[in-house]
Amino acid sequence: MPERFALALEYRDRAAYGFFGCPRRFQPTAWPWGPLPDRSLCDRKAYRSLPLEKFFDGIGMLISRSDWSEDATYVVFKTGDNFWSHSHLDQGAFTIYKGGPLAIDSGFYGTTYGTDHHLNYSYQTIAHNVITVTDPEDTARLPGKNDKPPRPIANDGGQRRVGSGWGRPAPIDLKQWQSRYTTYHTGRIARYFAGDGLVVAVAELTPAYSNEYCGQGNPLDRTCRVARYWRTFIYDRAEDVVVVYDDVTAVRPEFIKRSLIHSIGRPLMKPGGFVIETPPNPKLHRKGGRLEVEVLFPREAYLNPLGGRGFEFWVDGKNYDEGGKVWKMVRKMRVPRPEPGKWRVEVVPPQAKLRDRFLMVLKPSLRGESNPTRVVPLEERDWVGCRLLGGARTLRLKFPRDRDGVVVGFESGRRIDLTVEATK
């Protein structure tokens, strides 16, 4: 019996109680002596009254879905502070699900905590859908314990390393966490909007990569690579489209920026973008899904698909699959098995610059179908953007050069300014 029934009883939550069906009348709701079911809470349709989005401001996470049907699109985006250990270095990352997992959170928690796969891949930024900025000199090793030699750590170009195992004591209470705020402050959602069929988050990501301790030669705070990074995440529920805009300034122009999108299956590359598909799976009640990704900026970006056998968890010249142990463990696990992913696409600017702006439009649909929204890139001297031409409406999105966020324009001429003043 799922323990969620006991929790739903505690809070008298009809939606949680009846979402997957109600428990039997005299069966305990939690092992072994949980409270007995309450038939008065059994409402199989209560969840339909719940909102379609939720912003958890404490941890900086938003979730949104297109509707409450089995065919719904489900998106997650996060940017917030680190509260120690087990959290991954994934501020600014997002996932997309429709008919199955499409843009995924890759990697596997096994084989055990602290293994090479965990420490060098799944825990690091490289395993998530966000941007990496690589300094070739970011090679500081993790000091060894108990007279063991220093441990090499893959240079993934990702975020500062916070958590157990890095030689820095954990905070024992809120006061100590606050006293070390520079370490634990890894980002914030500076502007959040939900309305008009839109969900928008404007996120500051700079502190996830750089703080006052960077460049001091330790593997935790790493080298100083990112001078400034903001990401704007938009979900247009009316057209079922995700838009991701990044404004990234590196410390040095030669530090390579890579915007990452992870998938389970091999992406199909096409001019200016790619397509990700996931097959149907009746056992998991999946119809199969499709994600079309259009890369609008940088113009003429290099799209590099990386993965497949021997390259599933490739970082810094090595595949961190524990000599095949990761896949052996996955195969031994019962359905539903973990889905660590095997592929990613790296979107790389065509030339080295200090500042780059990335703009991608991601269009989910069920497998065998396609999202009909047309996308037109726009560019003026002071902004870049796009026009989304859908069946329900047309939107004009403008991302200013001198501010962070987006200005949304509707066909009627109405505008929603969701920008914040640029910070240094």
d(CA 387, CA 411) in angstroms, rounded, equals 11
Asked if residue 336 has a cis previous peptide bond (ω within 30° of 0), the answer is yes
Residues 124 and 15 in one domain: no
Q: Say whether 39 sits in a helix, a strand or coil.
A: helix
Residue 424 maps to a domain? no
Residues 32 and 135 in one domain: no
Residue 64 maps to a domain? yes
Q: What is the pLDDT of residue 3?
A: 76
Amino acid sitting at position 221: D
Q: What is the pLDDT of residue 148?
A: 83
Nearest in space to 317 (alpha carbons), one of 108, 152, 144: 152
The DSSP bridge partners found for residue 297 are 359
Residues 33 and 146 in one domain: no
Q: Where are the beta strands (DSSP E) in 215-254?
A: 226-236, 241-250
Residue 387 maps to a domain? no
With contact defined as beta carbons under 8 Å apart, do 248 and 217 qualify?
no
Residue 173 maps to a domain? yes
* pLDDT, tens digit, 9 for 90 and up, residues 360-413: 999 999 999 999 999 999 999 999 999 999 988 999 999 999 999 999 999 989
Residues 44 and 86 in one domain: no
Residues 32 and 137 in one domain: no
Residues 154 and 243 in one domain: yes
d(CA 73, CA 97) in angstroms, rounded, equals 6
Residue range(s) defining the domain that contains residue 37:
1-50
Residue 356 maps to a domain? yes
Q: How many beta carbons lie within 10 A of that of residue 336, not counting itself?
A: 9
Residues 269 and 247 in one domain: yes
Residue 412 maps to a domain? no
**For the chain, what is the domain count?**
2
Residues 104 and 251 in one domain: yes
Please work out, in degrees rounded to the nearest 5, the angle formed at the alpha carbon of residue 23 by the alpha carbons of 21 and 24: 130
Question: Residues in the chain with pLDDT < 70?
Answer: 1-2, 423-424
Q: What is the pLDDT of residue 1?
A: 53
Residues 14 and 120 in one domain: no
Residue 231 maps to a domain? yes
Residue 390 maps to a domain? no
Q: What is the pLDDT of residue 424?
A: 61
Q: What is the pLDDT of residue 43?
A: 92
Q: How many beta carbons lie within 10 A of that of residue 371, not counting itself?
A: 22
Q: Say whether 328 sits in a helix, a strand or coil.
A: helix
CATH code of the domain covering residue 208? 2.70.98.70
Residues 38 and 75 in one domain: no
